[in-house]
Chains A and B, each alone.
Chain A
Amino acid sequence: MDSKDIALEVKNLVVEYVTADGTVHAVNDINLTVKRQSCMGLVGETGAGKTSTALAIMNLIPSPPGIIRRGRIVLNGYETLSMKDTEMDAVRGKEVAMIFQDPMTALNPVLTIGEQIAESILMHEKISKTEALERAKQMLEMVGINGNRANNYPYQLSGGMKQRVVIAIALCCNPNLLIADEPTTALDVTIQAQVLELIDNLRESYKTSMLLITHDLGIVAEMCDEVSVMYAGRIVECGTVKEVFTDTKHPYTEGLFNSLPNINDRNAQLTPITGLVPDPTDLPPGCAFAPRCRYACAECGKRVPKDKWISATHMVACTAYEKPEFLIERNKK
């Protein structure tokens, strides 16, 4: 693929947190590519390493205890990990912006929402404060909040409105790549539907590429073109939404689908994944999912599975596929 068609490339990224209780292996050698103007979903359960991946892309891993051990991040052609802080400040906002999970922590309680949007604009554009405030009002209108609420403080807004303000801040400099970390987890479903629709529309008109972090496979199906499934700091499967949903390969991805109640068939059996996620300070050797995997064999515990490409876009990292006849249950029907 031409590098012009790539918004983000993450190569062999390793992120660790060195703590008194041991080293947390949060991100273990992952690769991730977001194509220009497309939306990549990053799914996985609590502690899988999704936020750590996002923070590494933003070059915002808290250090200490965090450390980026290894890897490259290429954002719209820029190698960001080797950048000086001042260079990175220019990249943030303009090339990449992030929507954090909790809108309350992302907003400053003592500034009006208009001032906060204007502040981000002023960081990247040489315009007057009055002009920036005017632009802030336009941004508010764009996310469906009346412009004359620009002098409201965060506490005067509902949860859904606060999340819209956060989106306005993220989009005010028209970034190439938007990273949204669980942007709707704190919201009710009807408000979630509003916010997702808003993100979708804005993305279309601004031609923004997106990395959408979520644990909700429904949101992935609704919003994304491609999806990467993360388990214990590794990407175990990735592909187009069609590939991963209709031709699921990894036993963990299958386990996620089997754990979900089916809204169209309430009598379908729920088959949970047995056991628990491994301790990230003490990951099992070999495949980290093997202890919970119904298909695991002795080989799985011995070495880290290799990435196997099934198509140009569909990858599975599972040792079982070294046997050509291997099929998961979901694909036997």
Chain B
Amino acid sequence: MMVDNILEVSNLKKYFKTKQGILHAVDGVSFTLERGKTLGIVGESGCGKSTIGRTVLRLIEPTSGEIRFNGTDINKLNKHQMRSMRPQMQIIFQDPYSSLNPRRTVSQTIREPITLNRMISDRAKLDERVAQLMDMVGLAERFVNSYPHELDGGRRQRIGIARALSVNPEFIVCDEPVSALDVSIQAQILNLLKQLQRKMGLSYIFITHDMSVVNYFSDDIAVMYMGKMVEKAPVEELFSNPVHPYTKALLSAVPIPEYREEKHKRIILRGEVTSPVNLPDECRFAKRCSQACDQCIKKEPPLTEIRPGHFVCCCNI
């Protein structure tokens, strides 16, 4: 049977011009997202997660690459064509506060994309739709005329979700949607996003730096390092059988909330991530890698499929 992919990205690049030189924020990344599934993207600050999320929606223009959404290469669409595609692809941000207009009420915020896309014009129907969306995301009706600053982080995130859902999208990029929230509220929002996915068949790209959250939430996981995808696999495979030394270090660094008699031995990476500017032709992780060999500094390793669906970008495999 053919896999039904909602999104197929190949060799996506996004470079930024900076004073120091060309910054390779996303540097030749390829992946697919199956309809109704979640691809988690993890990695440290600055590795290019948000840039991927934004370029696949063409909120920022890719430098090069192909982005096929439902079979159409959206990178080739003109402004007008892109606009009619927009409602199908939405984004939810980390900080609901800065992404919401402080002078708009909950109701105004949620209805804006609907009216912008001329989906409903009748006043009464619009109110009805807003009420329905608020109910869907678990926002009590009494907040309909509240302003963002009057609400807590969890409720603000619910507004962001309702707004994204208002135009009936098929695909949503969730960019760190729970990172700013306390754990008890984080669990509420994660459950909500899962439940909406089941009900509406949504496909998600889920960006986070929290390994236990991504493990819970995703079907596949892509691990990014300095603009490159260094490993990608189904979630169970990645967690039980990580292959790239960076993935191993990342997993081993996660503090586990369980009591143990003996402290567990962890892999401590030396050094820090540097900015992906003026890159030499070598493995980007080589400088911090405990297993680096002569091969690694000769050229960048290609992404190789070591098992069905499990891709790794490392010389030592």
With A and B bound together, what is the CA distance between A261 and B178 in angstroms?
12
CB of A272 within 8 A of CB of B212, answer no
CB of B259 within 8 A of CB of A256, answer no
With A and B bound together, what is the CA distance between A190 and B246 in angstroms?
10
CB of B184 within 8 A of CB of A263, answer no
Residues of A near B215 (CB, < 8 A) are: 261, 263, 266
With A and B bound together, what is the CA distance between A193 and B182 in angstroms?
21
Give per-residue flags for B35-78: 1 if the beta carbon is below 8 A from chain A beta carbons, else 0: 00000000011000000000000000000000000000000000
CB of B256 within 8 A of CB of A259, answer no
CB of B272 within 8 A of CB of A219, answer no
Residues of B near A158 (CB, < 8 A) are: 272
CB of B154 within 8 A of CB of A245, answer no
Q: Which of A221, A264, A270 contacts B255 (CB 8 A)?
A: A221
With A and B bound together, what is the CA distance between A220 and B272 in angstroms?
24
With A and B bound together, what is the CA distance between A217 and B256 in angstroms?
8
With A and B bound together, what is the CA distance between A261 and B190 in angstroms?
10
Residues of A near B216 (CB, < 8 A) are: 261-262, 266, 270
Interface residues on B, range: 35 or more
Interface residues on A, range: 35 or more
Closest to B190 in A: A270
Question: At the interface with chain A, which of B12-20, B169-177, B260-268?
Answer: B260-268
Q: Is B187 an interface residue (CB 8 A)?
A: yes
With A and B bound together, what is the CA distance between A256 and B187 in angstroms?
10
CB of B44 within 8 A of CB of A190, answer yes
Residues of A near B126 (CB, < 8 A) are: none
Question: How far apart are A317's CB and chain B's nearest CB, in angstroms?
Answer: 19
With A and B bound together, what is the CA distance between A266 and B40 in angstroms?
14
Given known pairs A161-B272, A266-B216, the reply for A221 and B209 (CB within 8 Å) is: no
With A and B bound together, what is the CA distance between A266 and B211 in angstroms?
11
A residues neighboring B (CB under 8 Å):
45-46, 158-161, 188-194, 196-197, 215-222, 241-242, 245-246, 255-264, 266, 270-274, 276
Given contacts A160-B272, A188-B209, A260-B187, 12 further A-B contacts (CB under 8 A): A45-B182, A158-B272, A188-B273, A191-B272, A193-B269, A241-B259, A260-B257, A261-B187, A261-B213, A263-B239, A276-B152, A276-B185
A-B contacts, 18 of them at CB < 8 A, read A190-B249, A193-B268, A194-B269, A217-B257, A218-B256, A222-B256, A241-B259, A242-B259, A259-B186, A260-B183, A261-B187, A261-B190, A263-B215, A263-B239, A266-B235, A272-B185, A272-B188, A276-B152
